[in-house]
Amino acid sequence: MRAEHLPALRIAPSILSADFSRLGEEVERVIASGADVVHLDIMDNHYVPNLTFGPMVCKAIRRRTAAPFDVHLMVKPVDALIPIFADAGADIISFHPEASEHIDRSLALIREKGCRAGLVLNPATPLHVLDHVMSRLDLILLMSVNPGFGGQAFIPETLNKARAVRARIDAHVAAGGQPIWLEIDGGVKLDNIAEIAAAGIDTFVAGSAIFGAPDEDGYYRRVVGALRRELDSTQAHRRAA
């Protein structure tokens, strides 16, 4: 997939907060501004109380950038949409365990379509859903807000969860397992991203923090650059430790 040249810490703008009247341009601009991954929030007004966009929009904006598409399914049921989003250009597809009758099967379906597979944990979802599927996962996405809307406040307890999942992933890799991205979604801002990175997150969804103002005078480049500098300082801190 298109994720091979990415940095160790990745910024994934959520286009949920972008200007939907010119989505293609927004995607192009935010990637040209230094972001790594495009995060697409798919909501169905059933699993979550909001409705966004489907595979046709995904396919339409796919040709505007070579950056990986990280498709976050907030839909129930899940399985029928997996091949459709894979064909629409998704590189990563993640879903919520509560929305699938057969989690292991849904994960397998994603990989069969050549995509990377992710499981999304809501703030109150316990970690034991990971117990028997670690080898099936390429990504674990921790929700730091309740899913459904952009612009909500970060739930601090997610930091404890991040540290716990980081320990699980490190143990899995140390035992010979495949690498797994650890992503966070919700309320990520300039003033908390370093603390979140210190808890072991490597992929950072940011919606309103990036798209909160129009891209005038290089605004996206300044915001993405500032987020990146915060992450660089964490990495420097880690190396020094």
Name the site residues for ligand DX5 (rule: CB under 6 A): 14, 16-17, 39, 41, 72, 145, 147-148, 150-152, 185-188, 205-209
Contact flag: residue 72 with Zn ion (CB under 5 A): yes
Whether residue 60 contacts residue 24, with contact meaning beta carbons closer than 8 Å, is answered with yes
State the binding partner of 17 from Zn ion, ligand DX5, none, CB within 5 to 8 A by kind: ligand DX5
**Candidate residues 185, 202, 215, 230; the one interacting with Zn ion per rule CB under 5 A:** 185
Beta-sheet strand order (sheet of 203-206): 10-13, 203-206, 181-185, 139-143, 116-121, 92-95, 69-74, 38-43
Whose Cβ is closer to Zn ion: residue 100's or residue 171's?
100
- From the CB of 50, what's the least distance to ligand DX5, in Å? 8
- Residue in 44, 70, 138, 185 annotated catalytic: 185
- Residue in 41, 44, 91, 215 annotated catalytic: 41
- From the CB of 237, what's the least distance to ligand DX5, in Å? 24
Whose Cβ is closer to ligand DX5: residue 50's or residue 234's?
50
Other CB atoms within 10 Å distance of the CB of residue 126: 11
Whose Cβ is closer to ligand DX5: residue 196's or residue 206's?
206
Other CB atoms within 10 Å distance of the CB of residue 171: 11
Contact flag: residue 96 with Zn ion (CB under 5 A): no
Active site residue 232: no
State the binding partner of 118 from Zn ion, ligand DX5, none, CB within 5 to 8 A by kind: none
Residue whose Cβ sits closest to ligand DX5:
207
Contact flag: residue 41 with Zn ion (CB under 5 A): yes
Active site residue 185: yes
Instruction: Report the amino acid identity of residue 90.
Output: A
Name the nearest CA neighbour of 147 among 122, 126, 127, 125. Answer: 122
- Residue 200's region, left for phi above 0, alpha for psi from -120 to 50, else beta, is left
State the binding partner of 78 from Zn ion, ligand DX5, none, CB within 5 to 8 A by kind: none
Whose Cβ is closer to ligand DX5: residue 124's or residue 175's?
124
- From the CB of 15, what's the least distance to ligand DX5, in Å? 8
- From the CB of 240, what's the least distance to ligand DX5, in Å? 29
Contact flag: residue 29 with Zn ion (CB under 5 A): no
Task: Kindly list the catalytic residues.
Answer: 41, 185
Give the residues lining the site for Zn ion (CB under 5 A).
41, 72, 185
